[in-house]
Chain A
Amino acid sequence: MGSTLYSYLLLKSLYEPTSAFEELAKSEPGPVAMFFRYSIWLLLLPPCFALIGAANFGWRIGAAEPLMLDMQSLILVSLGYFLVLVFGLFSTALISSWMASTYGADANLGKHVALITIVGEPLAIASIAHLFPDVLVNVLVLIPTMIWSMYLLYKGIPIVLSTPPERGMLMASSLVGWLLVAAVSLLGISMAMWTMGVGPLLGV
């Protein structure tokens, strides 16, 4: 199928995810090609939206006046955001690939990278909310999107990895466990960094 696979996944994932999962199940993509021809374009969206939004409006966290940072800091933060997303994608794909043997769902790493990208695609698109950098607006947009992404994870694993739905459900739940731990780690690491003086000025 070659290059058309990537554009097919990009589009079909949004409005006909089952077809995208079925198409992916039939192919054997390499992880590097999958990353550079599909995943990376989606991963670039949230940091770009965040950069544009924060540079123009500043982050609103609630009671505060919008938090305006200089361009250099914003570029650094956005770059950090991008790297975290890349790390998140590959670590989740690797863990998914490692877990797969327990659930009878062996597949090459490229398939796992593609699967996790499809699951994350709605979130990447919804990150357009970063253009209006208000924490509440972002929470209101991203939480329903996250629920949709979780649905895609539960739906996609059995199809892409050719495993019975019940086994897929177990594997998806294990991955949800990992993703929750990763999310909460990000919160903890951020707070520890603020305490150490990286980021906003706090009286600690």
Chain B
Amino acid sequence: MDQSSQNTYHDKVVIRLIQFSIFWAVAAMLAGVYLSAELVWPWIDFGQFWLSFGRLRPLHTNGIIFGFGVSALMATAFYSVQRTSHTPLFLPKLAWFCCWAWQLLVLLGGLSLLAGYTSAKEYAELEWPFDIVIAVIWVCFGVVFFGTIYNRKIKPIYISNWFYGALIIVIAMLHIVNNLAIPVTLGKSYSLYAGAQDAIVQWWYGHNAVGFLLTGGFLGMLYYFLPKHAERPIWSYRLSIVAFWAFVYSYIWAGPHHLHYSSIPEWVQSLGMVMSVILLAPSWATMINGIMTVSTAWEKLRTDPALKFIVLSLAFYGLATFEGPMMSIRSVNVVSHFTDWTIGHVHSGALGWNAMITYGTFYFMVPRLVGRELFSTQLANIHFWLALAGTMLYIMAMWAAGVSQGLLWLSVDQIGELSFSFKDIMASMTPYYVLRLVAGIIFLLGTVLMGYNLFMTLKGQHAVRVTAPPVNPAYGVS
């Protein structure tokens, strides 16, 4: 093998992961749209268990988080770690193993959820055999990632790698600890923890899956691809490092805010609330860093439709990271909990932040990976407006539904009895659910357009061979 092929980046696996990510995005969003239609017309499960809300809902969430989200994170981590380390992937065959094994896991795991196998822990529904497979693939992901960093030719470890590294380490820790269980049969296990402890461990996992996967991992994406798009360095590198450590330190405590007014100790609830409010500081530090980076690169918007997605994703990131701490305050949470406001909050993050930044990144990466222009800039622009309209309509509908529910759930009459029945309140929500269904269809339509656009861009093309550029000796690893 000559010197140049030894230095060639492994990008085919990146392209494959992007394709899988888009496939899962469409499939899982379709499940979401179907679920929202079921809330309007409950009979469309046609009496089939596998079409029931209880089985389709975890398929939607797992499909988005593990299928769309993790595939996108693996793709962008593999792409950026090579370029920031000036060296090809460590053990590329293991990277291919991660790619295919992960897709097989999502497929079979999804089918098992439809078949009714579930551990009944939110975002950790998959049963123990799948949990073991996830842990194995995740460790392999870590070996490839950290092995590449170990082999780096440049001394500094760029900030995006810190976030991807935190994603890999913390998710492994959360996943393993939360899923410790006693297996009873191949398809059933019981958690090692009982009662309130189980709830605390579950939401330590649940909230930090949001924190380190849907926030930290995607911040890794932001920190690499935003400066690349803008062709500017990060506005303040120092702020990014401070924000990273503050983020890592404060996020891990925030889980108990999911358990306000439950049987866990009150001081644990208060601690969760206080740390959630503190979390606003590092979250907004990153947002400001992103906004200031892009503010000097406005000329790029003329030629780069993808940058718009990243600009908007920052606005929604700012909203979601403000909304979350506010909803964790107990006097707000007592009304907002168990309402559709929570669903709106999740989707201002998932649609407005995670999906938008991923779309912006894919529009950037795919043409570069195959060395040709994007198939249609106009389609990408249409996608942008569909994504914005879909997200806005979704969160507005859920805000209105949430406020109404908050009032109605808790309304009492003069003798202190609840004024309304659950059934009547749910029936009155139908119009908002129709609006949410329309919003979901608009957003899905945009994603399908992107899938077509990127498919046509990739069609008949091969990955461009890119070799690691030489490193300035002042920064090189001796």
Contacts and interface: CB of A to CB of B under 8 A. Distances in A.
A42 interface: no
Contact of B335 (A146, A180, A185, A195): A195
Contact of B425 (A62, A150, A201): A62
A153 B341 CA distance: 26
A177 B314 CA distance: 8
A135 B402 CA distance: 12
Interface stretch (B47-55, B132-140, B245-253, B293-301): B293-301
Nearest to A196: B331
B321 to A, nearest CB: 10
Contacts of B291: 170, 174
Q: Determine chain A's interface SS by DSSP, over half rule.
A: helix
B108 interface: no
B329 interface: yes
A14 interface: no
Contacts of B322: 181, 184-185
Given A136-B431, A174-B315, A181-B318, A192 B329 contact: yes
A188 B302 contact: no
A147 B396 CA distance: 11
Contacts, number: 140
A188 to B, nearest CB: 4
Contacts of B302: 166
A167 B298 contact: yes
Given A62-B408, A64-B420, 10 more contacts: A136-B400, A139-B397, A166-B300, A174-B315, A180-B348, A181-B318, A190-B403, A192-B331, A201-B411, A202-B410
Interface of B: 287, 291-292, 294-295, 298-302, 308, 311-312, 314-316, 318-319, 322-323, 326-327, 329, 331-332, 334-336, 341, 348, 389, 392-393, 396-397, 399-400, 402-404, 406-408, 410-412, 416, 418-421, 424-425, 427-429, 431-432, 435
With most chain B CB atoms within 10 A of its CB, the pick from A140, A167, A188 is: A188
A177 B315 contact: yes
Given A62-B428, A63-B420, A195-B334, A200 B411 contact: yes
Interface of A: 61-64, 102-103, 135-136, 139-140, 143, 146-147, 150, 164, 166-167, 169-170, 173-174, 176-177, 180-181, 183-185, 187-188, 190-192, 194-196, 200-204
A175 to B, nearest CB: 9
Contacts of A183: 399
Contact of B432 (A136, A146, A173, A185): A136
B407 A61 contact: yes
A61 B411 CA distance: 12
A147 B315 CA distance: 16
B410 A204 contact: yes
21 contacts: A61-B407, A63-B427, A64-B408, A64-B420, A102-B295, A135-B400, A136-B432, A150-B392, A166-B302, A169-B298, A170-B301, A174-B315, A177-B319, A187-B399, A192-B332, A194-B335, A202-B335, A202-B407, A203-B418, A204-B335, A204-B410
A185 B425 CA distance: 25
Contacts of A143: 392-393, 396-397, 435
